[in-house]
Structure 1
Amino acid sequence: MELTAAEDVTAACHDDTLVVWAAQGMPGGVRAWALGEAVAVASPELNRRDRLTVLGPAAQVAALVLRVLPELGPSYRLLGDRALIAELAERMPGTGPVRPFEWMDTARPSSPQETAEGTAEEIGWLGDADGEVAALLAEAAPSAWAVPGLPGIRRWAGVRSSDGTLVATAADAWSCPAVGFVAGVATAQALRGRGYGRRVCAFAFDALIAAHGRVALVVDTDNYPAIGVYERLGLNGRPVAALALPAAP
């Protein structure tokens, strides 16, 4: 039942960006299983949670999850398409509430007009700026899942104003060989609506598409302004959800 190599997961789910991202290239600690058409990938500390990402028919996925539960600790959360997670909540007594959000991804670089406004001096990857990033996030996005110093965060992109102040940022975080991942997007509250967030996202998206072939992120379902920005930059949405696993039998 167990899949042990990265090529097994990508061969079974090569066109499913969420599962490919969850597999993270199958480094040590990531495990994957298949049962019929169902696939489950256990990824520790992925985007600050231990996640069991699932795909397939609900009945088969539920059977697979119940079989692997004894191998997983209580910290794991189910992640998958929202309709599937909602059905699993009904099929598996003891699960927690369904937590909806949006997965968005694209393989298409931003259009030239989206990246032409800034200059190289204003926008780029930051060096030795964790303090500035932390201060900006504390003011503009205190609930951000990506913050400096967390495992899995590789680097921060930023936009600076003419006086050198950091006004917008986004992280390259929890990326894997085939999917770049963006988190920690924030713009200074007093400067919102001027395109800084769009510009830093366009820069980060294009860089990660060039490096990985595709870029993705997650966003709250009710964060309509951010979703609008990401859609204008070419990302496509996918309703997903998380769910706490029941106690192992």
Structure 2
Amino acid sequence: MRGMRALHSPDAVADATPDLLPRWAAQALLPGHPGPGGAAWEHGGAVGVLAPGLNRRERLVLAGPAEGVAAILRDQARAHGPELNPLVPDDLVDAVTALVPDVVAWAGFGWMESTGPLPSAPGVRWLREDELDTAEALLRKVNPNAYVVPREPGSRRWAGSHVDGELVAVGADAWSAPHVGFVAGVATHPDFRRRGLSKALCSFVVHALLAEHPACALMVEGDNTAAIAAYRGLGFALRGLTILLPAEIAAARPPRRR
């Protein structure tokens, strides 16, 4: 398309937009990314990043002026067909669906981001390789549908909190990009909740990520008010995201949060 400019690296994406969402998705441009075929473009001040396999989803992440977003969306929809799952900030939904009337809002969730600083927390450490099976067992007990588990692609390292030698809370540095660290897989054993363990664990992981990246982010279910409040207490700001789908496909699929 005339005026469409390909972006070939996370640095090129960062130069094209200050928005942390496409900067995070730009990890799909790195060699060895779990989902092959990543690509990115700029058009009219907007940026789109095609990120197969990112956070277990095929994602086309879009941000910037609505006209540019709509142009990238139309171009990629022609190339990829109905399997494409465009993801846009909530404040773009009305303008983009007006410009691309064959897509509708299907499902949404929360994106939270922070540029810090945040102090570390005592009593938390990075787990050893021989502790990851225990971490996975805890995660599956607390959240059987967890989006990340130890040793899967995208999972870089896991932190844990112990009480009397028992691992009772975990969280991961997973799907971090050069310009945006990412927190995932946070879980606390039900018998040890309301002790501040999750807050301490997140403080530890976020502190480490902000020492290596300019910003940090995570995803949260939009109706999880307790988690949103906790992350806001750590300095994160909430932003709503929406998945757009062709109307006929959206009508046939039950909504999901992510």
Q: Which interval holds the TM-score relative to the shorter structure?
A: 0.7 to 0.9
CA drift at 1:97: 4.6
Unaligned stretches of 5+ residues in structure 2: 32-36, 249-258
Q: CA deviation at 1:31?
A: 0.6
Letter in 1 for 2:96: L
Q: Which residue of 2 aligns with 1:141?
A: 143
Aligned equivalents of 1:80, 1:105: Cα separation in 2 = 15
State the distance in 1 between where 2:94 and 2:132 align: 38
The AA in structure 1 aligned to 2:86 is: L
C-alpha RMSD over aligned residues: 2.2
Aligned residue runs from structure 1 range 93-242, under 5 A: 93=101, 95=103, 97-111=105-119, 115=121, 118-119=122-123, 123-128=124-129, 129-162=131-164, 164-242=165-243
Q: Distance in 2 between matches of 1:229 and 1:213?
A: 21
Quick check: 1:102–1:218 contact (8 Å CA) kept in 2?
yes
**Alignment length, in residue pairs?**
238
The structural deviation recorded for 1:92 is: 3.7
- The residue number in structure 2 matching 1:57 is 65
The answer to whether the aligner puts 1:43 opposite 2:51 as a matched pair is yes
Displacement after TM superposition at 1:25 (Å): 7.2
Q: Which moved more, 1:131-140 or 1:152-161?
A: 131-140
Letter in structure 2 aligned against 1:126: L
Between the aligned partners of 2:101 and 2:135, the Cα distance in structure 1 is: 42
Structure-2 change in CA distance of 1:124 and 1:99 (3 Å): same
Query: Is 1:3 aligned to residue 6 of structure 2?
Result: yes
Q: CA contact under 8 A between 1:139 and 1:189: conserved in structure 2?
A: no
1:7-46, aligned counterparts within 5 Å?
A: 7-13=11-17, 15-24=18-27, 26-28=29-31, 29-46=37-54
In structure 1, C-alpha distance between the alignment counterparts of 2:190 and 2:97, rounded to whole Å: 38
The sequence identity of aligned pairs, in percent, is 39
- Relative distance call for 1:236 and 1:90 in structure 2 (3 A) is same
Counterpart Cα distance in 2 of 1:131 and 1:97: 39
Moved more, 21-30 or 83-92: 83-92
Q: Following TM superposition, by how much is the alpha carbon of 1:3 offset from its aligned partner in structure 2, in angstroms?
A: 1.5
CA distance in 2 between partners of 1:171 and 1:75 (Å): 29
Alignment partners' CA distance in 1, 2:246 and 2:217: 25
The one-letter code of the counterpart of 2:92 is L
1:77, distance to aligned residue in structure 2 (A): 1.4
- Pairing partner for 1:83 from 91, 99, 106: 91
> Distance between the aligned counterparts of 1:25 and 1:94, measured in 2?
27
Q: Aligned-pair distance for 1:182? A: 0.6
The C-alpha deviation readout for 1:96-155, integer Å capped at 9, x for no partner, is 65212111111213247xx2xx33xxx211112232122111221222211123211111
Cα distance 1:152–1:111, how it changes in 2: closer, same or farther (>3 A)? closer
Structure 1 counterpart of 2:232, one-letter code: E
AA of the residue aligned to 1:136:
L
Letter in 2 for 1:176: A
Q: Deviations over 1:168-226 (max 9, x none)?
A: 11111100111110111101111111111111100000000001121110101111111
> Structure 1's 244 and 158: CA in aligned 2 closer, same or farther, altered over 3 A?
farther
Unaligned runs of 5+ in 1: none
CA distance in 1, matches of 2:221, 2:46: 27
8 Å contact 2:125–2:161 — kept in the other structure? Answer: yes
Q: CA deviation at 1:36?
A: 1.6
Partners of 1:41 and 1:167 in 2: CA distance? 37
Distance 2:177 2:210 in 1: 12
Runs of 4+ in 1 over 6 A off after TM superposition: none
